Structure 1
Amino acid sequence: MKKKVLIFSGGRQDYYLLKPLVSELLKINTLEAGFLLGETHFSKLYGKTINQIKKDKIPVWGKIYSKIDGDSPLNIINKMANTSIKVSKILLKIKPTVIVLLGDRYELLATAQAAMLHNIPIAHLHGGESTEGVIDEAIRHSISKMSHIHFVSTKKYYTRLVQMGENPRYVFNHGALGIDNIKNLEVLSKKKLFNSLDLNINYKTFLITYHPLTLDQETSNLQLNNLLKVLLNFKKTNLVFTYPNSDTYGLAIIKTIKKFIKNQNIKSIFVENLGSTRYLNLIKYSNLIIGNSSSGIIEAPSLGIPTINIGKRQNGRVQAASVIQAKGTKKSILDSIKLGLEKEFIKKAKLKKNPYGKGKSALKIAYTLNKIDYKNIIFKKFYDINFYK
């Protein structure tokens, strides 16, 4: 009897990372694999990625729809409750051997709770990491404690999970899946890509993604406004903004950026969903990655592009030498951008040294998921470390 591997994807933020893993799982004849899709895949606001999934022809075993709008804490709690109930019904129907979760978003926590109560083993990717400026920090560690198998992206995160009481027998450092997409990237010509986005090929290009600080909305808004004011200093520059994730207070960020683009006479666009191929090619052809997205920390170093990481959202993550930390003030952001454009720093970034691995993570994870014996794995024992030896 084949093992059933159910992979949950909440939206565009994890689909493109998980796609190569599903492809590798489908090559193993002792496994079946399929997606369980979260609500933002069906949202027009966030690019309706269900259309891309249909084109990719990857098996979909379950879909979660929601008519709950808004991003206030109460709206998010209602979405989580809706997700838990619907995931529970799908799990009863599919009866997977294991469910795979990547990351630290609220819908993942709701899914993990449902799986835990149905005694279904959970394999968690990107556990052990730290993002001190957002509620994702607490969610990530909560999911780790509910999980039975862990795939971490660096040695430091491996150590942290063991420190949290997870059995090292089930903690695997296979690197970050995002690097696989870079290694297998279909390279688009700069001219073709820029024409498709109506960008000026002769200008500098800044790729900007700013997500909300879910623990501090006031600071989040202040830092975004500081960033937008600083960007006005850079003439003959393409400003490519990508949509934030579906987080608490994310709609306010969308509104602010739309207003900025409408009122300023500068070359700028706001894109709901670039897709993996266009997004990674755009990083490749950009001068800087700016904002507070994990892609600037994890993927951009492997493409040799400097990152300006603003504020506390990514505090605690392992970072490459190509990442510049800006405090969030106008002066700090401006100084950081100027540093990222200096020849010596560009030269350092082009070394492409990345602590998140060298690729083939999907292959390693698929192999591990296949070889694991799931019998009795749900009976976890806290792994104690003797600090006093």
Structure 2
Amino acid sequence: MKKILAVTGIRSEYFILQPVFEEFVSKKDVCLKVVVTGAHLSPVHGYTYKLIERDGYDIIKLENLLSSDFLSGRCKSLGIQIMGLTDIVVRENPDWLLVLGDREESIATAIVGTYLNIPVAHICGGDRVVGNIDDSVRHAVTKLAHLHFPVTRENGERILKMGEEPWRVHVVGNPALDSIRKQPDLSFDCINKKLGTDLKENTSFILLIQHPLSSEVGQAGEQMRITLQAVSELGYYTIIIYPNSDAGSYEMIKVINEFEQKYDFIKAYKTLPRDIFVNLQRKTALLLGNSSSGILEAPFLKIPVVNVGNRQRQRQHSENIIFVPHDKEKIKEAINKAINDKEFINMCKNCSNPYGDGYSSKRIVDIVLNTPIDSKLLNKQIVY
């Protein structure tokens, strides 16, 4: 029996990890437990741990997120997380630790695993963005983790350039696509009933997800305001999902609430169930904001994306994305192009997808379970 201890701290991360969890659970000789931490346990962000419970996973709660909108709060929350996770890992004594991406739980898990001699499997390493602490965290996790599962060849090559041994690096694609592929289609009537919305099949709507940037925390609220000014002036029905728990998010939420109260065609939600979110992605005219969903998932769904600001810039992307600054008129121009430019819409429908085929989870699980846990795995060597 192999024991896997996975760690997740935010809804977007769980959306990518869930198909991998499902694949582990399908194995008779595997015990999976999930540490839920960070924003999952926050009422501001919708208590998303309940989604994980509802999916039937054996969860362990680790509260660490301070009620703070400052960068210092994120540092302190990370310290609490490392202390709590150390106790959990010592108690559970897993064979493997599994984590994804570039947030606090990623670096906390990698540090704890390395110091306790427990191998760490890391999904979504080797990626790059600009102007965000996530980049530095992601690469630090790579240097600590023992197996790497980048989602594109370019990202895998970047990991190799960091001096990692080639046998540790496995390009597998993005597991979020597995989840999208498996979700059944829901009708507009079903979505409207669950959300209390008034979406119509032949009327364009916008799906908006915008997060703060760690290097631009003081501007987060104003950046959200500019985006919503553009949306409000165009008048398209818009569904907003709250930003993540990073510093600056509280100011963004204040602005979102202000616009939602003022305009009846703007609807905001703390979080959404996976099936609803996927179907909104399938049906939306465009994804607006700066979410990684626009980079990782939109090419698979062939939908236009308007990415606002510096978040996600320099990240490997498809042709379906329009990058714009925090400028109201440029955002309006890009939205109109995404909704009305038939040539651009047709190009999006035929865009390339560098992020996999929707069958990544089985590759990840098979590699983890078939990798011997020995001194070769635990004692990392740099190749130069």
TM over 0.5: yes
Q: Do the aligned residues in 2 keep the contact of 1:134 with 1:213 (CA within 8 Å)? A: yes
Residue 36 of structure 1 corresponds to which residue in structure 2? 35
Residue 211 of structure 1 corresponds to which residue in structure 2? 211
Residue 250 of structure 2 corresponds to which residue in structure 1? 251
Q: Does 1:321 align with 2:301?
A: no
Residue 11 of structure 1 corresponds to which residue in structure 2? 10
Q: Do the aligned residues in 2 keep the contact of 1:212 with 1:244 (CA within 8 Å)? A: yes
Q: Do the aligned residues in 1 keep the contact of 2:302 with 2:348 (CA within 8 Å)? A: yes
Residue 382 of structure 1 corresponds to which residue in structure 2? 382
Mapped partners of 1:327, 1:89: distance in 2: 44
Mapped partners of 2:141, 2:175: distance in 1: 19
Residue 288 of structure 1 corresponds to which residue in structure 2? 286
Residue 52 of structure 1 corresponds to which residue in structure 2? 51
Mapped partners of 2:131, 2:78: distance in 1: 21
Q: CA deviation at 1:158?
A: 0.5
Of 151-160 and 341-350, the range deviating more from structure 2: 341-350
Q: Does 1:135 align with 2:133?
A: yes
Spell out, residue by residue over 1:12-46, the C-alpha distance to the aligned partner (whole angstroms, 9 max, x if none): 12112211111111222332222111132222211
Residue 229 of structure 2 corresponds to which residue in structure 1? 229
CA RMSD of aligned residues (A): 1.5
Mapped partners of 1:59, 1:368: distance in 2: 23
Spell out, residue by residue over 1:228-258, the C-alpha distance to the aligned partner (whole angstroms, 9 max, x if none): 11112222x2111101111112111111111
Residue 273 of structure 2 corresponds to which residue in structure 1? 275
Identity fraction in percent:
29
Mapped partners of 2:21, 2:223: distance in 1: 37
Mapped partners of 1:78, 1:110: distance in 2: 12
Of 166-175 and 347-356, the range deviating more from structure 2: 347-356
Mapped partners of 2:326, 2:354: distance in 1: 25
* SS of residue paired to 1:115: helix
Q: Do the aligned residues in 1 keep the contact of 2:18 with 2:179 (CA within 8 Å)? A: no
* SS of residue paired to 2:90: helix
Q: CA deviation at 1:383?
A: 1.8
Q: Which amino acid aligns with 1:307?
A: V
Spell out, residue by residue over 1:66-111, the C-alpha distance to the aligned partner (whole angstroms, 9 max, x if none): 4732131222122111111110001111111110110101232123
Q: Which amino acid aligns with 1:199?
A: T
Q: Does 1:115 align with 2:116?
A: no
Of 155-164 and 38-47, the range deviating more from structure 2: 38-47
Residue 179 of structure 1 corresponds to which residue in structure 2? 177
* SS of residue paired to 1:233: helix
In structure 2, stretches of 5+ residues that fail to align are none
Mapped partners of 1:220, 1:51: distance in 2: 28
Closer, same or farther in 2 for the Cα pair 1:270/1:184, shift >3 Å?
Answer: same
Mapped partners of 2:232, 2:34: distance in 1: 42
Spell out, residue by residue over 1:284-327, the C-alpha distance to the aligned partner (whole angstroms, 9 max, x if none): 11111000000011112211210001111101211111111112
Closer, same or farther in 2 for the Cα pair 1:159/1:370, shift >3 Å?
Answer: same
Alignment match of 1:297 (pick from 295, 305, 314): 295
Of 173-182 and 6-15, the range deviating more from structure 2: 6-15
Q: Which amino acid aligns with 1:224?
A: M
Closer, same or farther in 2 for the Cα pair 1:247/1:89, shift >3 Å?
Answer: same
Mapped partners of 2:175, 2:65: distance in 1: 31
Residue 265 of structure 1 corresponds to which residue in structure 2? 263
Residue 352 of structure 2 corresponds to which residue in structure 1? 353
Q: Do the aligned residues in 1 keep the contact of 2:7 with 2:36 (CA within 8 Å)? A: yes
* SS of residue paired to 2:312: coil
Q: CA deviation at 1:53?
A: 1.9
Residue 368 of structure 2 corresponds to which residue in structure 1? 369
Closer, same or farther in 2 for the Cα pair 1:218/1:76, shift >3 Å?
Answer: closer
Q: Do the aligned residues in 2 keep the contact of 1:106 with 1:136 (CA within 8 Å)? A: no
Q: CA deviation at 1:51?
A: 1.9
Mapped partners of 2:351, 2:277: distance in 1: 18
* SS of residue paired to 1:90: helix
Q: Which amino acid aligns with 2:141?
A: I
* SS of residue paired to 1:45: helix
TM-score normalised by L of structure 1: 0.94
TM-score normalised by L of structure 2: 0.95
Mapped partners of 1:3, 1:199: distance in 2: 45
* SS of residue paired to 1:301: helix
Mapped partners of 1:226, 1:158: distance in 2: 36
Mapped partners of 1:280, 1:301: distance in 2: 13
Mapped partners of 1:18, 1:329: distance in 2: 34
Q: Do the aligned residues in 1 keep the contact of 2:35 with 2:61 (CA within 8 Å)? A: yes
Residue 387 of structure 1 corresponds to which residue in structure 2? none
Q: CA deviation at 1:219?
A: 4.3
Q: Do the aligned residues in 2 keep the contact of 1:177 with 1:361 (CA within 8 Å)? A: yes
Q: Do the aligned residues in 2 keep the contact of 1:101 with 1:123 (CA within 8 Å)? A: yes
Closer, same or farther in 2 for the Cα pair 1:103/1:40, shift >3 Å?
Answer: same
* SS of residue paired to 2:314: coil
Q: Do the aligned residues in 1 keep the contact of 2:220 with 2:248 (CA within 8 Å)? A: no
* SS of residue paired to 2:46: coil
Mapped partners of 2:321, 2:72: distance in 1: 35
Q: Do the aligned residues in 1 keep the contact of 2:319 with 2:351 (CA within 8 Å)? A: no
Mapped partners of 1:67, 1:230: distance in 2: 32
Q: Do the aligned residues in 2 keep the contact of 1:199 with 1:238 (CA within 8 Å)? A: no
Alignment map for 1:190-209 (pairs within 5 Å): 190-202=188-200, 203-209=203-209
Mapped partners of 1:90, 1:200: distance in 2: 45
Of 210-219 and 313-322, the range deviating more from structure 2: 210-219
